Each structure stands twice: as C-alpha cells, then as structure tokens.
C-alpha cells in the first residue's frame, strides 16, 4: 500500500534549497573571478562571492548541527551492499521500467550510490572548497603576515584546488539535476524536496512519521 510520507523535514528542505542557490551563485561569481566570463563586474563578483561564501559557511555550521542532533548523519554512511544493483538499475533496468532496487524510507532516504556521492561531497569536495576558499580569502603575500605560518609562496595551489573543486561541483549538479527525474514520476523527487512529502510504499516495520506524529513524539519526549 502507498502512503504520503513526510520524508524531508523543514530544516532539511531549507538547507537543501539555500545550499542549491548558494552553489549556483558561487559558481557564477566564482567563474567570473576565474576569468571565464564577464557578468557582474570583477570587483562585484569578488565581493558577492565572499559574501555568499560566508553565508554558505554559516549554513554548513547549522547543517552539521542538524545532522548530528537529528542523527541524520547516519543516512550518509556509505555502503557497498546493493551498489551493483543500483548501477545496474541506472544502466539497464531503468529503460525496462524495472523497480528501484533499494526501497526509499524515512530512515533510509538515499540509495547506495547517493550515499557514496553525498558522502564524498560532505567529507571531500565541500571541505576542500571551504578550506581552500578561506585560504584564498585570507591569503596574504609572502612574509607579510596573514597566514605566514603555512609558508605558502603563492596563492596558486590554493586557487587550483578551489577551481578543481568547482568543476567537480558543476559536474555533480548536472548529474544530480538529471537524476532527480528518475523517481517514480519525473517530478516525484522535486515535489518531495519542495513539499517534504513523497508517496512511498508503506513499510510496516518502520514508523513513518507525519508532522502530527512527530509533534506527538516531541510532546512525549518532554
């Protein structure tokens, strides 16, 4: 039996969409700083990029707190079971209208490939971008204070890491935007991330939380 399930909570959706906007904006301003095109004007691009970067860092701080306080971080632990089946689904099964090999539930929202890719984003790409971005921002010239302790003679390695990360994120967005159409219907996943609700196969073994039930749970905790 299928049932409307509250799968993405309000903060999660807020985090997701703010992050999406910031990444697009950072990419636009960032590639202007990189010299790829002219749009905002160079000085504006740099200033906007820095402001958006601080906003992104604040968002990340909240997101980290949210992930740990809700236990959602466990969803991102990579697993290799079923990974072959998932790859098989995208390469073959999807064309034959085969069912998704992994079942989406509130406690396991991500398929094994998503787990792996999101995990890589969270522990590799985003940290590289944040760290190289902060170094870029606070880089001062040799022997002139700033982060002299790192003994970097040039902003070049910092900039190159930052650029490489940016390309990786863009490639991720391209594939991510496409793969959200591979839900039950092409718009299923998008709707879910906007409203929070998705029609899922009811799982008898798990308690599917609706906002009401969630509230109840909270009052019980109190």
Q: How far apart are CA 189 and CA 198, in angstroms?
A: 8
Binding mask 144-183 for other proteins (x = CB under 8 A): x--------xxxx--xx--xx-xxx-xx--xx--x--x--
Q: How is residue 39 written in tokens?
A: 């749009």
Smallest separation (angstroms) from other proteins to the CB of 149: 16
Smallest separation (angstroms) from other proteins to the CB of 136: 8
- On whether the CB atoms of residues 119 and 78 are closer than 8 A, the answer is yes
Using CB under 8 A, pick the residue from 69, 81, 97, 205 that binds other proteins.
97
Nearer to other proteins, 51 or 57 (CB): 51
Q: How far apart are CA 7 and CA 2, in angstroms?
A: 14
Smallest separation (angstroms) from other proteins to the CB of 105: 25
Sequence-distant (6+) residues with CB within 8 A of 11 are: 62, 66
Binding mask 105-144 for other proteins (x = CB under 8 A): -----------------------------------xxxxx
Binding mask 41-80 for other proteins (x = CB under 8 A): xxx--xx---------------------------------
User: Other CB atoms closer than 10 Å to residue 96's CB: what's the count?
Assistant: 7
Query: Quick check: 7 binds other proteins (CB under 8 A)?
Result: no
Nearer to other proteins, 204 or 218 (CB): 218
Phi first, then psi: give them for residue 220, nearest 5 degrees: -65, -45
Q: What DSSP line would sit under 36-75, residue for residue?
A: S--SS-HHHHHHHHHHHHHHHHHHHHHHHHHHHHHTGGGG
Phi first, then psi: give them for residue 110, nearest 5 degrees: -110, 140
User: Could you say which residues in the range 13-42 bind other proteins, by CB under 8 A?
Assistant: 33-35, 38, 41-42
Return the DSSP state at 163: H
List interacting residues with other proteins (CB under 8 A). Answer: 33-35, 38, 41-43, 46-47, 90, 94-97, 140-144, 153-156, 159-160, 163-164, 166-168, 170-171, 174-175, 178, 181, 218, 222
């Amino acid at each position: 039996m299928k049932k409307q399930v509250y799968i993405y909570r309000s903060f999660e959706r807020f985090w997701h969409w703010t992050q999406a906007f910031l990444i697009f904006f950072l990419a636009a301003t960032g590639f202007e700083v990189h010299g790829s095109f002219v749009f905002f004007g160079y000085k504006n691009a740099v200033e906007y990029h820095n402001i958006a970067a601080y906003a992104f860092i604040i968002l990340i701080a909240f997101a980290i707190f949210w992930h740990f306080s809700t236990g959602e971080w466990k969803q991102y632990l990579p697993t290799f079971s079923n990974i072959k089946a998932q790859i098989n689904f995208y390469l073959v099964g999807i064309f034959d209208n085969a069912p998704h090999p992994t079942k989406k539930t509130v406690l396991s929202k991500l398929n094994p490939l998503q787990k792996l890719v999101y995990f890589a984003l969270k522990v590799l790409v985003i940290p590289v971008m944040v760290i190289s971005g902060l170094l870029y921002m606070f880089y001062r010239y040799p022997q002139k204070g700033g982060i002299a302790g790192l003994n970097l003679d040039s902003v070049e390695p910092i900039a190159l890491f930052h650029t490489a990360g940016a390309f990786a994120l863009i490639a991720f967005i391209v594939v991510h935007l496409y793969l959200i159409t591979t839900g039950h219907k092409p718009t299923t996943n998008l709707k879910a991330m906007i409203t929070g609700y998705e029609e899922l196969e009811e799982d008898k073994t798990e308690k599917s939380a609706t906002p009401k039930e969630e509230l109840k749970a909270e009052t019980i905790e109190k």
